[in-house]
Amino acid sequence: MSEAVAYGRNPVLALLRSRARRADEVAVLAGARGPLAEVVALARRAGVKVSYRTRDQLTAMAGSPDHQGAVARVASAEYVDLAALLRVPQERGEAAFFLALDQIQDPRNLGALLRTADGFGVHGVIVPKHRQVGLTDAAARTAMGALETVAVAREANLVSALETLKKSGVWIYGATARDGVSPWSADLKGPICLVLGSEGEGLRPLVARTCDVLVTIPMLGRVGSLNVSAAGAVLCYEVTRQRQTEPKTP
């Protein structure tokens, strides 16, 4: 298994709390106190080697000066298979809520979407193997620890994966810039998968045709659409809002 790094106080804390990936070493800024004390305490509690480094040494380890005094050497993030993803909502006794990404290119968008997925209770994310950014260090950094809590399945054929979800009773809702129904008028309470397209092209035609429903976020300004990570946050919020809204008594 290859190694990667996680850096920044919150990502390193999330890594140590979840124990989703093996940490081989946690390096912290020599002489630092305060928030870094919790990093050291969690690492020692988990039996992870702790070392003290200079700021320049931490920058070299992280490949960035934005390490906030904490860098961890960890096993690279791994993908799960689709069957494992499908078991998550069953084990939690919840209506399925998945997010599928169609050829997202920017690791920062992927990281932001993983963070959104964690925040709104998404059970897992599905990405294609080709022309799609993977679970890189840059994506992990933007995810701010969500890489440790959100399972990601990587499939050779996204359309086939969506068809598998359909067979398990999941409805597929694709996000499009125009001609879709408003998400506020769609019923998002049941088992669903939201599909978001790439930054430039949106959903590929075959992926769009695979969707049961297309939804469009109404735009009131002059900008025609939202960035994919912003659109994902809006749609995931709407799913959570609908599911948490108490039915009105007659």
Are 182 and 215 a contacting pair, CB within 8 Å? yes
Are 199 and 240 a contacting pair, CB within 8 Å? no
pLDDT tens digits in sequence order for the chain, 250 residues long: 456 788 888 888 888 887 767 788 999 999 877 778 899 999 999 889 999 999 999 999 888 898 989 998 887 677 899 999 999 999 999 999 999 999 999 999 999 999 999 999 999 999 999 888 888 777 877 777 787 789 999 999 999 999 999 999 999 999 998 889 999 999 999 999 999 999 888 999 999 999 999 999 998 887 767 899 999 999 999 999 999 985 544 4
For the chain, which residues make up each domain, given as ranges? 3-75, 82-244
CATH homologous superfamily of domain 3-75? Ribosomal protein L30/S12 (3.30.1330.30)
Backbone angles phi, psi at 97, to 5 degrees: -140, 100
Backbone angles phi, psi at 6, to 5 degrees: -120, 135
Q: Which CATH architecture has domain 82-244?
A: 3-Layer(aba) Sandwich (3.40)
Q: With the CA atoms of 220, 222, 224 and 225 taken in that order, what torsion angle do they form, in degrees rounded to the nearest 10?
A: -60
Return the DSSP state at 103. Answer: S
Separation of CA 36 from chain center:
25
* Burial bucket for residue 213 (CB in 10 Å: 0-12, 13-18, 19+): middle
Residue with tokens 């963070």: 115
Predicted TM-score (pTM) above 0.85: no
